[in-house]
């Protein structure tokens, strides 16, 4: 379950994080293994395993996560940035609690991996 992951522990305050944004729906914090000068994760407080696990009733929350990602990018001084949502182990998801990566601060190549 998503609430049993490291992100669930961060949300419960059991593990500290370098918080950059918080509201009643989500938390944003710096990635502990950054892939760029700015690498922030935006996670919902609701335990959703992955984007493919989202339900129609999650539509407003999912949109909020993207708006927060853009807000965080601006707050971090990024004009250009990448957002990434991995869904499933084969796509690179390693923590099974939905999260949006906000990555920037250097040129980013395509394809990413």
Give pLDDT tens digits for 44-94: 999 999 999 999 999 999 999 999 999 999 999 999 999 999 999 999 999
Give pLDDT tens digits for 19-50: 999 999 999 999 999 999 999 999 999 999 99
Q: Domain spans of the chain?
A: 2-104
Beta sheet of 100-104, edge-to-edge order: 19-22, 26-30, 38-44, 100-104, 81-84
Rounded to the nearest angstrom, the gap between the alpha carbon of residue 81 and the centroid of all alpha carbons in its chain is: 13
Residues annotated as catalytic (active site), given as ranges: 99
Give the N- to C-terminal CA distance of the chain in Å, as an integer: 27
CATH fold label, 2-104? HIT family, subunit A (3.30.428)
């Amino acid at each position: 379950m998503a609430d049993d992951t490291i992100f669930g522990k961060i949300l419960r305050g059991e593990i500290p994080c370098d918080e950059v944004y918080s509201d009643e729906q989500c938390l944003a914090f710096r990635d502990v293994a950054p892939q760029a000068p700015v690498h922030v994760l935006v996670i919902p407080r609701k335990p959703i395993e992955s984007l493919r696990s989202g339900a129609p009733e999650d539509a407003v929350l999912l949109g909020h996560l993207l708006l927060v990602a853009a807000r965080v990018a601006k707050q971090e001084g990024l004009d250009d940035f990448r957002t990434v949502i991995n869904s499933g182990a084969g796509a690179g998801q390693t923590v099974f609690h939905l999260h949006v990566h906000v990555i920037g601060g250097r040129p980013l190549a395509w394809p990413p991996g």
